[in-house]
């Protein structure tokens, strides 16, 4: 055991020196945990902001003018009046994302209790804001109509007083979500790339033969690469979470950072082994890139970091429970967003440990075969 630990210690030092001697890779690590996170968090917005909306007012009543005037910043730009004949051309050219059509006699029908229909045309090619914006316009129409009808009847009472409270993100700021999820995505991406690239680099430079004549086992080599690259990514992720996400972007981290770090180490344990496993099937760096990119993209898109996992088919939800990304995303959201403790996330931690052990065992078998093939 003592000799194994010494071998792992020295091989880990070799890996760290090799990484330190690669300025391009170091620059890439710095970039993805700083500039990339800031750019995505501030540039890719999920909420509606300054959307262009037009109103076709065929009623010309006080109620229709009140509805048009209620569409204000920051959700929308000031509503622009257009004629019915301009609807198709303005939507086709992308001039407006929303067009609200208010029919004739809308106010009189509402006052007489006939429940008139109001149409909202939506440019659904702008998927990021089409759904949320349509709901916002619907709420504005219902709110203004109800207020106007109460004013006309002289009553101030409403049958239902709806009060909405948004927990953990009261202003529904998408940067609070995307920044943390981007850190998680970068952890998985770099874990696969760095460990896989370390093995490919050994093979391309011919230093793998040097390892074969040393009194080390394949497990020693594999663990040294996992420890060295994993430590670099863990430190970079914690610094990014503290200084970029919390400091620059102002995202509150209400959960336990030590608990998150523990879960991140377990996550690193499995995804770095996955990176080594992929590298054993590639002979060159371009081959490894072509193999790793689809795996990274699929794990990210289906892990719940970009879209809710509940919206996926049941069979796919079941399959994704066996991937480390899905478990870690669920764990991170519970800890960092909701302040969950160990009593609530132990299942995700146990799943990460089991997935990591299984992945490491498979990787060890494949890695030993790869090393033996070099003889």
Domain termination residue (choose one: 95, 124, 153): 153
- Claim to verify: residue 119 and residue 198 sit in the same structural domain: no
Strand, helix or coil at 51? strand
pLDDT at 160: 61
Q: Please say whether the beta carbons of 120 and 39 come within 8 A.
A: no
Please state the pTM of the whole predicted model. Answer: 0.78
The reported pLDDT for the residue numbered 22 is 78
The whole domain housing 224 covers: 2-44+173-373
User: Residue for token digits 């207020």?
Assistant: 147
**Alpha carbon distance 91, 121 (integer Å):** 9
Residue 166 domain-assigned? no
* The token pair that represents 259 in the structure block: 């608990």
CATH code, 133: 3.40.1710.10
Q: Report the pLDDT value the prediction gives residue 206, as an integer from 0 to 100.
A: 66
**Would you say residue 120 lies in a domain?**
yes
Note whether 73 and 184 are same-domain residues.
no
168 is a domain residue: no
Residues 119 and 196 in one domain: no
Centre a 10 Å sphere on the Cβ of residue 188 and count the other Cβ atoms it contains. Answer: 28
What's the distance, Cα to Cα, between the start and end of the chain in Å?
A: 26
Domain check: are 15 and 68 in the same one?
no
Clarify whether residues 298 and 196 are in a common domain.
yes
- Are 219 and 299 members of one domain? yes
Residues 267 and 328: beta-carbon distance below 8 Å: yes
- 277 contacts 366 by C-beta, under 8 angstroms: yes
Final residue in a domain of this structure, among 121, 153, 185:
153
| Residue 167 lies inside a defined structural domain of this protein | no
In a shared domain, residues 68 and 201 = no
Domain boundary among 119, 153, 187: 153
Q: How many domains does the chain have?
A: 2
Pairing of strands 98-102, 53-57: parallel
Residues 62 and 35 in one domain: no
CB 294 within 8 A of CB 300: no
**One domain for residues 103 and 191:** no
Residues 319 and 188 reside in one and the same domain: yes
The token pair that represents 135 in the structure block:
């709901």
Q: Would you say residue 295 lies in a domain?
A: yes
Residue 158 located in a structural domain: no
- 208 located within any domain: yes
Decide if 220 is inside a domain. Answer: yes
Q: Which of 157, 352, 342, 322 is CA-nearest to residue 259?
A: 342
Q: Are both 355 and 257 inside the same structural domain?
A: yes
Q: Is residue 201 a contact partner of residue 150, using CB atoms and an 8 Å limit? A: no
pLDDT at 153: 59
For residues 184 and 295, state if they share a domain: yes
Residue 273: name the closest of 232, 230, 226, 227 by CA: 226
- With tokens 């262009």, the residue in question is 52
* Run means of pLDDT, 10 residues per run, the chain, 375 residues: 72 78 84 89 76 90 90 87 90 89 89 86 82 86 84 58 74 81 89 84 68 67 80 91 90 88 90 85 85 89 84 90 91 89 92 89 78 58
What is the predicted pLDDT for the residue at 41?
Answer: 84
């Amino acid at each position: 055991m003592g000799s194994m630990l010494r071998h792992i210690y020295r091989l880990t030092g070799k890996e760290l020196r090799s990484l330190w001697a690669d300025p391009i890779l170091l620059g890439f690590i710095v970039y993805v945990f700083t500039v990339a996170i800031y750019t995505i968090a501030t540039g890719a917005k999920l909420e509606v902001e300054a959307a262009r909306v037009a109103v076709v007012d065929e009623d010309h009543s006080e109620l229709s003018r009140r509805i048009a005037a209620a569409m204000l910043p920051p959700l929308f730009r000031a509503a622009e009046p257009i004629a019915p004949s301009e609807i198709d051309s303005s939507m086709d050219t992308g001039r407006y994302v929303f067009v609200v059509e208010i029919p004739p006699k809308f106010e009189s029908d509402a006052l007489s209790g006939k429940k008139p229909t109001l149409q909202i045309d939506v440019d659904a090619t702008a998927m990021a804001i089409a759904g949320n914006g349509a709901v916002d316009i619907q709420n504005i129409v219902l709110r203004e109509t109800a207020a106007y009808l109460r004013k006309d009847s002289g009553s101030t009472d409403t049958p239902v007083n709806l009060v909405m409270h948004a927990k953990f993100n009261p202003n529904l700021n998408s940067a609070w979500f995307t920044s943390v999820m981007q850190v998680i995505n970068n952890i998985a991406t770099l874990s696969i790339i760095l460990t896989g690239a370390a093995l490919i680099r050994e093979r391309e430079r011919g230093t793998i033969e040097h390892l074969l004549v040393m009194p080390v086992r394949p497990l020693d080599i594999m663990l040294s690469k996992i420890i060295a690259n994993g430590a670099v990514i863990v430190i970079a992720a914690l610094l990014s979470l503290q200084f970029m996400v919390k400091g620059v972007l102002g995202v509150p981290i209400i959960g336990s950072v030590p608990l998150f770090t523990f879960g991140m180490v377990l996550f690193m344990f499995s995804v770095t082994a996955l990176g080594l496993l992929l590298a054993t099937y590639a002979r060159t760096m371009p081959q490894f890139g072509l193999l790793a990119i689809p795996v990274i993209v699929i794990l990210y898109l289906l892990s719940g970091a970009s879209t809710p996992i509940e919206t996926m088919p049941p069979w796919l939800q079941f399959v994704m429970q066996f991937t480390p990304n899905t478990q870690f995303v669920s764990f991170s959201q519970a800890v960092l967003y909701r302040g969950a403790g160990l009593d609530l996330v132990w299942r995700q931690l146990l799943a990460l440990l089991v997935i990591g052990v299984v992945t490491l065992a498979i990787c060890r078998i494949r890695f030993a075969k790869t090393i033996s093939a070099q003889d």
